[in-house]
Amino acid sequence: MKLKDKVAIITGSASGIGEATAIRFAADGAKVVVCDVNQAGVDRVVADLVATGAVAAGFVVDVTNKESIVAMVDAVKAQFGRIDILVNNAGITQDAQLYKMTDDQFDRVIDINLKGVYNCTKAVVDTMIEQNSGVILNASSVVGVYGNFGQTNYAATKFGVIGFVKTWAKELGKKGIRANAVCPGFVATPMVKAMPEKVLQGMEEKVPMKRLAQPSEIASVYAFLASDDASYINGAAIEVTGGLTL
Ligand code: NAI
């Protein structure tokens, strides 16, 4: 129970890695706030968590919409009294090579994956400063360290959220707040499983472990970084790739 009674907001937690992180945090004793644009998904994940005896609350939040974020943060503070952990997990892809990429594709990915992280963190940081404690975790990617074919927009956001945590580590460390990023390789979530079978096989082949990660294997890294076991890890970008980049 390494997150016992910690209040954790997880964006994009109606699916994939975010859902697995909600399940893991709840198992570790956290009070989990499930946030997503997908109302049905939020309801399903909250019901599943509550059925296990966990404390959970759900909110329909669009990370590009400040009003929905502020309403959620106010409600969480009213219900739970504090905010200990923010996992900025919500993210999308809109892939195209640079010469084919539309401005809409570029802007949409920047708005959700980069500005959404800024919006959510801005909305909780005053509370964490008042508490003199907090943990901020950003979903980066191996693409945020090495770049990727067809992902000008996505790669920029995933590099960007590493820039955020390195800056926030410097600004907020003395206020008892740690900020870190997680950089997964290929994870078996709806985002990746939507790819053609041949592409998936090619991905598995590139990994020394010859398989994709399970979402729970990324969730366990978030759980570690959120816990006091990681009390001196600050401003780091942790690669969780099964050795993909070796
Ligand atoms: P997913 O597609 O399964 O889940 C993403 C969730 O974010 C969905 O529930 C979706 O409704 C939600 N979302 C989308 N736009 C939103 C918005 N504007 N506001 C609030 N919620 C929104 O994706 P997955 O694979 O679980 O990815 C989670 C994070 O991990 C993303 O940031 C992704 O870039 C990152 N990641 C994923 C990898 C993978 O292989 N699946 C690898 C590296 C990083």
On whether residue 205 sits in a domain, the answer given is no
pLDDT of 225: 99
Considering the candidates 118, 146, 154, 232, report the single residue annotated as catalytic. 154
The residue segments making up the domain with residue 95 are 7-183+215-238
Check the annotation: does 154 bind a ligand: yes
Number of domains in the chain: 1
On whether residue 2 sits in a domain, the answer given is no
State the Cα–Cα distance between residues 153 and 187, nearest whole angstrom.
20
Known catalytic residue: 154?
Answer: yes
Check the annotation: does 180 bind a ligand: no
pLDDT of 194: 80
Domain of residue 171, CATH code: 3.40.50.720
Ligand 1 atom closest to the CA of 63, numbered from 1: 19
- Give residues with Cβ within 8 angstroms of 218, minimum separation 6: 17, 20, 21, 182, 184, 187, 240
Residue from 92, 112, 158, 216 to probe ligand 1 pocket by mutation (most atoms less than 8 Å from CB): 92
Q: Is the pLDDT of residue 174 over 90?
A: yes
- Residue 191: pLDDT band with limits 50, 70, 90: confident
In tens, the pLDDT along 194-227 reads: 888 998 899 999 999 999 999 999 999 999 999 9
On whether residue 206 sits in a domain, the answer given is no
Name the closest-CA residue to atom 19, ligand 1.
Answer: 62
pLDDT of 195: 81
On whether residue 246 sits in a domain, the answer given is no
Residue from 13, 15, 21, 145 to probe ligand 1 pocket by mutation (most atoms less than 8 Å from CB): 15
- Residue 193: pLDDT band with limits 50, 70, 90: confident
Q: Is the pLDDT of residue 94 over 90?
A: yes
In 3D space, the residue among 97, 107, 92 whose CA is nearest the CA of residue 192 turns out to be 92
On whether residue 90 sits in a domain, the answer given is yes
Q: Is the pLDDT of residue 157 over 90?
A: yes
Q: Is the pLDDT of residue 190 over 90?
A: no
Q: How many CB atoms lie within 10 A of CB 51?
A: 9
Q: Which stretches does DSSP call E strand in the chain?
A: 7-11, 31-36, 56-60, 85-88, 134-139, 177-184, 237-240
Check the annotation: does 155 bind a ligand: yes
In percent, the amount of the chain with pLDDT more than 70 equals 100
Q: Is 36 in the pocket of ligand 1 (CB under 6 A)?
A: yes
On whether residue 34 sits in a domain, the answer given is yes
Whether 10 contacts 89, CB under 8 Å: yes
**Assessment of whether the complete model's pTM goes beyond 0.95:** yes
What ipTM was reported for this prediction?
0.99
Name the closest-CA residue to atom 31, ligand 1.
Answer: 91
State the Cα–Cα distance between residues 244 and 238, nearest whole angstrom.
13
- Give residues with Cβ within 8 angstroms of 169, minimum separation 6: 178, 179, 180, 234, 235
On whether residue 162 sits in a domain, the answer given is yes
Q: How many CB atoms lie within 10 A of CB 173?
A: 13
Check the annotation: does 96 bind a ligand: no
Helix (H) or strand (E) holding 119, with range, is helix 116-131
Q: Is the pLDDT of residue 184 over 90?
A: yes
Please name the residue that has the structure tokens 């739970």: 80
Q: How far is the CA of 139 from the centre of ligand 1 (A)?
A: 9
Q: 3-state SS string over 124-190? A: HHHHHHHHCCEEEEEECCCHHHHCCCCEHHHHHHHHHHHHHHHHHHHHHHHHCEEEEEEEECCECCH
On whether residue 198 sits in a domain, the answer given is no
- Residue 45: pLDDT band with limits 50, 70, 90: very high
71-89 burial, b at 16+ Cβ within 10 Å, e below that, comes to ebbeebeeebebbbbbbbb
